A = this chain, B = another copy of it.
Amino acid sequence: MTKLTISLAALLALTCPALAQDAPDAPSPGQIVAEAAGEEWVEISGDDLLVMTLAPDDDGTERTVVIQLMPAPFSQGWVENIRTLARAEWYDGITVNRVQDNYVVQWGDPNYDNPEADGAAKPLPEGLQTVVESDYVTKLDAAGIEAVRRYFSNAAAPRQAVDSVAIWRADPYARAHAFVAGWPIATLDMAPEAWPVHCYGMVGVGRGMSPDTGSGAELYTVIGHAPRHLDRNIALVGRIVEGMEHLSSLPRGSGALGFYTAEEAGKRTPVLSIRVASDLPAGRPAFEYLSTEGEAFARYAKARANRRDPFFIVPAGGADICNIPVPVRRVAD
């Protein structure tokens, strides 16, 4: 019976578009975010922000990319390594070596695990951890489990419970999803094991073949449809919060896996430096994210799943977790 109601509603919306516009002045997702109260925004620690400076482009335009690192309990072994590498200034002078369309942009030592390598790999600094594969998945603490529970009981979240909540929040990759402390997370059947998911703009750690898990010296970001088959197979450590366009619009490499060939070495964009924001002088980049536990985010997610702003005639009635990007904004230092 419930299923019938849904189908009929959708069909009515298709044949009688005016019916779907029952809220013609409904705010868009962007409006909801713009109107969110100040206390709904959460400061991001400067220790969790990386400032990556690329060489200027051909027009001399400066290119800065800001990465937000994941907080505990996710991927902390790799995240700590990345801070170590940044503070050792190891990243300075590496390059963007791989740009594969609808997949990833990858930066690091051009001689690391690169079919187009033409020299020896750059030695890594002291003090890096070797992280184990089991850390691709995290046991949530009580607060994390509570966040999952809250998401499932939140009437404003996408899709109402119909047959059972887990079914409606499932997608082909996991039985359940939630936002935990500002991050998109998947779980198995409400179990305490959870893992971050490969959405557009997420940042991960390149690695060799198992059991290698990567040190953090080699990083990539997603520039296409969410490659969710990488979930639990590779560490995610953060996301791009500013300057994504400087990576996503780079020329694609024509070598295997989108690596630039030796003949295309001139296309490798130099990374001048990567710094932890808290190590920079005053005037450093500062950001906030919209709390994923708050009322504004719930309304935003609902609006993403049921677009009622004037352009839309049929609301989707749902959204996959990668289509609900967590709002992040720059603020004064």
Across-interface contacts of A210 in B (CB, < 8 A): 17, 21, 310-311, 313
Across-interface contacts of A322 in B (CB, < 8 A): 225
Q: In the bound complex, do residue A319 and residue B17 qualify as a contact, i.e. CB atoms below 8 Å apart?
A: no
Query: Residue A133 contacts which of B233, B310, B313 (CB distance < 8 angstroms)?
Result: B313
Q: In the bound complex, do residue B211 and residue A17 qualify as a contact, i.e. CB atoms below 8 Å apart?
A: yes
Chain A residues close to B by CB (< 8 Å): 3, 6-7, 10-11, 14-15, 17, 21, 58, 99, 101-102, 133-134, 136-137, 158-159, 163, 167-173, 175, 188-189, 191, 193, 199-201, 209-211, 224-229, 231-233, 244-245, 248-252, 304-305, 307, 310-320, 322-323
Q: How far is the CA of A227 from the CA of B312 in the complex (A)?
A: 13
Q: In the bound complex, do residue B314 and residue A7 qualify as a contact, i.e. CB atoms below 8 Å apart?
A: no
Across-interface contacts of A229 in B (CB, < 8 A): 304-305, 307, 312, 315-316, 319, 323
Q: In the bound complex, do residue A199 and residue B225 qualify as a contact, i.e. CB atoms below 8 Å apart?
A: yes
> With A10-B188, A134-B14, A323-B228 in contact, is A173–B245 under 8 Å at CB?
no
Q: In the bound complex, do residue B7 and residue A191 qualify as a contact, i.e. CB atoms below 8 Å apart?
A: yes
Query: Residue A252 contacts which of B14, B159, B245 (CB distance < 8 angstroms)?
Result: B245
